[in-house]
A and B are shown apart, each in its own frame.
Chain A
């Protein structure tokens, strides 16, 4: 694999073309913008991932179509 020294020339060219970010200081408080976003898109209190819903649906389907599996399920709980 390339050693870091081998990258020096390319690194140098890159840094001449795309200098490192110079102005890294945040110039204003972003909290008002954050508040606006929170008001526009209120976060749901509880987020259930889609695969949890899918698992629940599969379980319900199994119980409905194979009621004989209920005692087995209860036994294993």
Chain B
């Protein structure tokens, strides 16, 4: 019996084999969304827990990698939704301008604050599209939405960020059409 068939029928050894094959990739995807290695580890385990629970719904001829990524994105999204206020980006986030004084610390804090206040669905796509520069079709596939909807969400996220940053006194060119 194939590995995926054994997994779908509840074989724990098959699940372990799939876990070991895919844990790095799932973790790497989640850490790009949450930007915190500890949280990404927990969410990787949560993702595989959801995968194991839903094993009977998995079609063995399907694409496990894509399915796992979709579930990982949902787990990360749930985290963003529930942790929006309590926890944000880690304080010790590395700074791109450590050597280049491109923006001041205060401005950087304002940007982080504005970004954190975005609704989770916008923050998810904005993180992947604007910060991680992930292609729209990858984001769409992972989030289970259309490419057009990804573009709309990025557009709205940018609009909200511009407004918020302008209200904070951070100059960003508003060249919307």
Query: Which residues of the other chain, A, contact B161 by a CB distance below 8 angstroms?
Result: 10, 14
A17 contacts the other chain (CB 8 A): yes
Q: Give the secondary structure class of B's interface.
A: helix
Neighbour of B37 across the interface among A7, A23, A44, A46, CB < 8 A: A23
Q: Give the secondary structure class of A's interface.
A: loop
Segment 24-53 of A: residues with Cβ below 8 Å from B = 24-27, 29-31, 33-34, 37-38, 41, 43-47
Query: Which residues of the other chain, A, contact B11 by a CB distance below 8 angstroms?
Result: none
Tell me whether A17 and B48 are in contact (CB under 8 A).
no
Tell me whether A21 and B32 are in contact (CB under 8 A).
yes
Chain A interface size range: 35 or more
Interchain CA distance A44-B173 in the complex, whole Å: 54
Segment 114-132 of B: residues with Cβ below 8 Å from A = 115, 126-127, 130-132
Tell me whether A19 and B45 are in contact (CB under 8 A).
no
Query: Which residues of the other chain, B, contact A21 by a CB distance below 8 angstroms?
Result: 31-32, 35, 132
Neighbour of B176 across the interface among A2, A27, A34, CB < 8 A: A2
B6 contacts the other chain (CB 8 A): no
With contact pairs A6-B176, A13-B172, A17-B112 given, residues A30 and B31 touching in the complex (Cβ less than 8 Å)? no
User: Nearest-CB distance from A1 to chain B (Å)?
Assistant: 6
User: Nearest-CB distance from B151 to chain A (Å)?
Assistant: 7
Interface size on B (CB < 8 Å)?
56
Tell me whether A30 and B44 are in contact (CB under 8 A).
yes
User: Nearest-CB distance from B49 to chain A (Å)?
Assistant: 5
Tell me whether B95 and A25 are in contact (CB under 8 A).
no
User: Nearest-CB distance from A2 to chain B (Å)?
Assistant: 5
**Residue of A2, A25, A29, A33 with most chain B CB atoms under a 10 A cut-off:** A2
Interchain CA distance A23-B175 in the complex, whole Å: 34
Tell me whether B103 and A30 are in contact (CB under 8 A).
no
Interchain CA distance A21-B90 in the complex, whole Å: 12
11 contacts between A and B (CB under 8 A): A1-B155, A10-B172, A14-B111, A16-B95, A21-B32, A23-B37, A30-B44, A31-B19, A34-B49, A37-B49, A38-B49
